[in-house]
A and B are shown apart, each in its own frame.
Chain A
């Protein structure tokens, strides 16, 4: 018997799953990404480097800045370009805006309806309007930052190799500073709400993240390894999915908010750190559903860190100078933490500045194997003890905990 799940609702993009049951026993679970392929690597080939981050932004709307930045970092690394602190901080601020926008979308509009027993946040708003509006306020603020740094809420083209088209004004930065204080109360409440959620899904063997909190030079893993993706991450194509599947040292692993907390908690800001310590025992159990709680803690981190960054920038004053770039032959990788985990852009560029090789690996594809394992384990635990509708609902919640971004996942490297 095959238990069909989907198409998934309250996730980004089009996906399904099937759980195969033989003789009353759960044999296998498959996550099928049914969204059509998008061929981004091919679109990038032969393009002039300057235009590439704008194209790559179109991979995903929820995390377009993560794609723009990963692309810019890959290009800068290929040319050996280093940018000054001001540009680094502005980039980090943009990624923070994206975390705020994406996590609050996921937590309040996609996950919270499960906690409160509604099919969506719009219907949930009739009884719990305050919570929904708090979520929308956090989301709108995240989008405001994305607009200031990225040039528009979705698919702005302001992020460029060597800097930005336009730099933020002092007024814009001050507005960000003021909102952080006001919204912190909402974010702390989110931690309380999501801390009550029961645990489900699988426990990954390893966590993988970038070596800086939101972007880095290399990847790090929970076994202490510091590495480039091609050293330990292996990908394979599947006959039933437009997304590929990855393993770390041959094992199923996780990337995302929970992974960031598990390997980088020492970098958290004061209140976020305190909340992490408070829930550390629960988080350390490692179930993928705890990703929701981890995202709530990251809302707090993002607001605190945004305030730190803005105050540094305001103290120094914005210079607004781009680093000049001379195209030359090279190869570079950009490692960024998209809200839902590690995002990798890898390019080779010729002496004219045109892209000759491009490889993009997205968090949802990295988590694909763990998503299947989670469905398998959850189905084994529940099958036969609950009715089919409840089981399907539970399995969909399990997929949702990954905050999957299916649009991102459907274009992949050549082997």
Chain B
């Protein structure tokens, strides 16, 4: 199978996390031939790909061109990481693009063709969307292995709370009153932040179904958190997707 990894605008973590598979990466190479992965390799072959992995948000014209290339030249396109699936942190910055450019660069001119950061899924159809800031590296390993073997990948649809309970961590929302987005955030991280005795910050994006952000909002409001604080917290990784 021919594989390409394409990076749009992000922190580099989603591509890096593939390298963090270490020895397991060599397992994947039994099935995959890497044709493009610019963080890791100077090798590049413009060819049709079986699988294209795209990380990051579309934040400039260059990103859009790379994304279109990845989509047009691949059978399966994986949107990898919360930037690609939900917009993540740079997608959450409020305001008009030209105002933001002025505040940061001191000019309203847009010579470099910046775009308002948006997730990959808003521009092209994707075959798989794997959220996480970053995703758990075993998830991409499993997904690539499933694709290579023709197995239908399993999609996670349960909240972080499930993994928290399985690990027998103390509920920081109930016991400590910390703002924890675990109940409305899709699991898969093994409740990693609750392991640190801190609340889930929602980096995997909202639970796809049966989430109750309004209920969560109400609970946190009753605990004394102000509405503006909660609004920003809900928005950080998911742009406007969590509504209440």
Q: Which residues of A approach B to under 8 Å, CB–CB?
A: 7-14, 34-43, 46-48, 51, 54-55, 58-62, 64, 105, 109-110, 113, 119-123, 125, 136, 139-140, 143, 151-158, 160, 164-166, 237, 239-242, 244, 396, 405-407, 410-415
Contacts and interface: CB of A to CB of B under 8 A. Distances in A.
A-B pairs, 6 with minimum CB distance: A36-B59, A61-B13, A120-B41, A165-B196, A36-B9, A36-B60
Contacts of A38: 9, 59, 89-90, 117
Given A154-B13, A414-B104, A43 B198 contact: no
Nearest to B192: A152
B192 A414 contact: no
A9 B43 CA distance: 9
Contact of A36 (B63, B92, B94, B233): B63
B134 A155 contact: yes
Contacts of A415: 106
A322 B51 CA distance: 47
B107 A237 contact: yes
B75 to A, nearest CB: 23
14 contacts: A9-B38, A9-B41, A35-B9, A36-B60, A36-B63, A38-B89, A39-B104, A39-B117, A122-B41, A136-B22, A155-B11, A157-B196, A165-B193, A412-B105
Interface residues of B, number: 68
Interface string B177-205: 00000000000000011011110010100
B216 interface: no
B1 interface: no
A114 to B, nearest CB: 9
Given A39-B104, A122-B29, A241-B112, A13 B12 contact: yes
Contacts of B89: 38, 40, 43, 55, 58
A405 B43 CA distance: 20
Interface string B124-146: 00000000011001000000000
Nearest to B90: A38
Contacts, number: 196
Interface stretch (B95-103, B151-159, B160-168, B207-215): B95-103
A146 B34 CA distance: 28
B198 A165 contact: yes
Contacts of B94: 42
Q: Is the interface of B mostly helix, strand, loop or mixed?
A: mixed
Nearest to B59: A36
A58 B56 CA distance: 12
Contacts of A119: 41-43
Given A10-B39, A412-B105, A156 B90 contact: no
A244 B198 CA distance: 35
Given A42-B100, A51-B201, A123 B193 contact: no
Interface string B49-86: 00000000111101100000000000000000000000
A187 B43 CA distance: 27
A139 B193 CA distance: 23
Contacts of B137: 153
Contacts of B16: 12, 61-62, 105, 154
B8 interface: yes
Contacts of B88: 58
Contacts of B232: 46-47
Interface of B: 7-14, 16-17, 19-20, 22-23, 25-26, 29, 34, 37-44, 57-60, 62-63, 88-90, 92-95, 100-101, 103-107, 109, 111-112, 114-115, 117, 133-134, 137, 192-193, 195-198, 201, 203, 228-229, 232-233, 236
A36 B115 CA distance: 8
Given A42-B103, A54-B201, A60-B12, A10 B40 contact: yes
Contacts of B133: 58, 155
Given A58-B88, A61-B16, A155-B134, A39 B93 contact: yes
B103 A157 contact: no
A137 to B, nearest CB: 9
A43 B92 contact: yes
A240 B111 contact: yes
- Residue of A38, A42, A164 contacting most chain B CB atoms (<10 Å): A38
A165 B172 CA distance: 11
Contact of B112 (A9, A242, A414): A242
Contact of B42 (A120, A143, A411): A120
Nearest to B37: A120
Given A34-B62, A58-B88, A136-B22, A12 B233 contact: no
A51 B179 CA distance: 11
A158 B197 CA distance: 8
A282 to B, nearest CB: 27
Contacts of B20: 139-140, 143, 153-154
Contacts of B19: 105, 109
Contacts of A41: 103-104
A58 B134 CA distance: 9
Given A35-B9, A58-B11, A60-B12, A109 B40 contact: yes
Contacts of A156: 192-193, 196
Contacts of B90: 36, 38-40, 43
A7 to B, nearest CB: 6
Contacts of B39: 9-12
Contact of B60 (A34, A39, A120, A407): A34
Contact of B43 (A39, A120, A139, A143): A120
Given A58-B11, A242-B112, A37 B59 contact: yes
Given A37-B100, A37-B104, A64-B11, 15 more contacts: A7-B38, A35-B59, A38-B90, A40-B89, A41-B104, A61-B14, A105-B19, A122-B40, A153-B137, A156-B196, A165-B197, A239-B111, A240-B112, A405-B12, A414-B104
